[in-house]
């Protein structure tokens, strides 16, 4: 039987999977939560992991001041534990004596008993010099806003007047937003159901099916979740189905479809479409698409395929509408996935921009004349968004950018952009492209 551990020791294991192995929190956390000795500590473990990822850059700057010399690479687990302790002391309401005691105790659980004195000294020294340590860390913008220098610099270039608000928005806790299935009842009726369960919620005015919970809950607690009455999906992502606006009898392609939220929303909104084909290059992530379709009792043809190589999987029949949720930096959803700060690299951006262009060019012939392709990213970087579409329009004269007249976000030279936190939504970009009939 595998040894069970307390929250802080499990959190160290999760963080190591991210910072050493390059795994995402969404993958690493479920893998390690099974090691908890007390399942009731799941929320604490999750809070610790997400908190250290959210404020890691700032925490590392503070830890550097407190350590006489950098820890060896083989002791990254001790470093993670120190960051966990600092996060609790700065950002959580746990009594400081309990933070120090529990964090030092976790040293033995990770097999580094020699570091008890070190961890204890670092945390106590922080308590003694907290104000000076924080002030010194905050003298550098990257450390103050807890962003890697390259990432903050790129945000400043793209949004010179709003970069501080974006950085602060990236560090906020995202709301839990739901999408009500109109086939199972109205949003108003579901709000009443939530009220009956003691869950405070409000309507998201930008969308007719979106509900914002005042406090996040486990999905199993949502009324009717298992029956398909509701799904979890941020409002910005819900915009895709409304902008694509599928009609009865049409054939749709959802490119880069995993985990399937937008695909299911398209089918909920337009159940009389002829067919929806959902493709993704990752077979493992496609399992989430299939699970969502099953839970919601919806049908789509799910294909594992490379969107930039349609010759391998396309049947030759053109689509009336295409949703291209392009691979991107995910710079608009950092508040929801703070491990992006750790996992993303500056050199990734040019590679992603090139891939987006390849996919756009590859999928355009699959769109029927008069059809609509909706280009979407969860990025805030201009080179992935309106600059990408402007380049495409210069080389594809049968493409015309449609204006988006909605009031959300802000109009760009082409398309429309949401920044993190705009109207409570994630950072997203949308550009509808119409194919000429001539």
Residues 6 or more apart from 6 whose CB is under 8 A from it? 36, 37, 38, 41, 102, 105, 106, 109
Among residues 80, 264, 328, 378, which one is catalytic?
378
Residues 147 and 57 sit within 8 Å (Cβ to Cβ): yes
341 closest CA partner among 51, 120, 110: 51
CA distances, 136 to each of 54, 249, 319, 354 (Å):
19, 62, 57, 39
* Distance in angstroms (rounded) separating the CA atoms of residues 15 and 359: 33
Q: State the DSSP H helix or E strand holding residue 49, giving kind and residue range, or none if neither.
A: helix 42-66
Residues 106 and 8 sit within 8 Å (Cβ to Cβ): yes
Quote helix, strand, coil % in the chain, to nearest 5: 50, 15, 35
The angle subtended at Cα 281 by Cα 378 and Cα 239, nearest 5°, is 30
Instruction: Tell me, yes or no, if 328 is annotated catalytic.
Output: no
Other beta carbons less than 10 A from residue 120's beta carbon: 16
* Distance in angstroms (rounded) separating the CA atoms of residues 406 and 377: 18
* Distance in angstroms (rounded) separating the CA atoms of residues 54 and 275: 40
Buried-state track 263-279, b at ≥16 Cβ within 10 A, e below 16: bbbbbbbbeebeebbbb
Name the residues annotated as catalytic.
378
């Amino acid at each position: 039987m595998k040894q069970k551990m307390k929250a802080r020791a499990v959190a160290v294991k999760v963080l190591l999977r991210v910072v050493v192995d390059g795994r995402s929190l969404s993958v690493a956390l479920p893998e390690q939560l099974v090691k908890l000795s007390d399942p009731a500590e799941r929320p604490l473990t999750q809070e610790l992991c997400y908190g250290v990822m959210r404020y890691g850059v700032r925490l590392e700057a503070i830890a550097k001041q407190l350590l006489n010399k950098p820890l060896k690479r083989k002791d990254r687990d001790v470093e993670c534990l120190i960051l966990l302790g600092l996060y609790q002391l700065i950002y959580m309401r746990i009594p400081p004596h309990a933070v120090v005691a529990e964090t030092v105790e976790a040293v033995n659980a990770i097999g580094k008993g020699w570091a008890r004195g070190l961890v204890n000294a670092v945390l106590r020294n922080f308590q003694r010099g907290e104000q000076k340590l924080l002030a010194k860390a905050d003298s550098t913008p990257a450390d103050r806003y807890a962003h890697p220098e390259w990432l903050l610099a790129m945000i400043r270039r793209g949004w010179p007047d709003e970069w501080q608000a974006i950085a602060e928005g990236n560090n906020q806790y995202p709301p839990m937003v739901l999408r009500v299935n109109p086939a199972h009842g109205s949003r108003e009726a579901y709000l009443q159901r939530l009220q009956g369960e003691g869950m405070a919620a409000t309507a998201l005015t930008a969308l007719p099916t979106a509900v914002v919970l005042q406090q996040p809950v486990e999905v199993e607690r949502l009324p009717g979740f298992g029956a398909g009455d509701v799904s979890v999906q941020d409002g910005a992502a819900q915009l895709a189905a409304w902008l694509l606006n599928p009609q009865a009898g049409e054939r749709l392609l959802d490119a880069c479809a995993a985990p399937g939220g937008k695909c299911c929303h398209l089918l909920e909104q337009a159940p009389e479409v002829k067919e929806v084909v959902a493709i993704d290059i990752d077979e493992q992530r496609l399992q989430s698409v299939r699970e969502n379709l099953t839970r919601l009792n919806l049908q789509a043809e799910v294909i594992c395929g490379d969107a930039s190589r349609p010759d391998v999987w396309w049947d030759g029949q053109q689509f009336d509408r295409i949703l291209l949720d392009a691979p991107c930096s995910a710079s608009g959803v950092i508040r929801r996935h703070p491990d992006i700060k750790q996992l993303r690299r500056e050199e990734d951006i040019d590679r992603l921009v090139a891939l987006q262009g390849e996919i756009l060019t590859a999928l355009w012939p699959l769109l029927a004349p008069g059809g609509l392709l909706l280009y979407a990213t969860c990025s805030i970087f201009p080179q992935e968004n309106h600059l990408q579409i402007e380049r495409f329009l210069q080389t594809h004269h049968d493409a015309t950018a449609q204006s988006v007249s909605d009031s959300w976000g802000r109009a760009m030279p082409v398309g429309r952009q949401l920044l993190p936190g705009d109207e409570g939504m994630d950072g997203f970009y949308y550009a509808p492209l119409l194919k000429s009939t001539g």
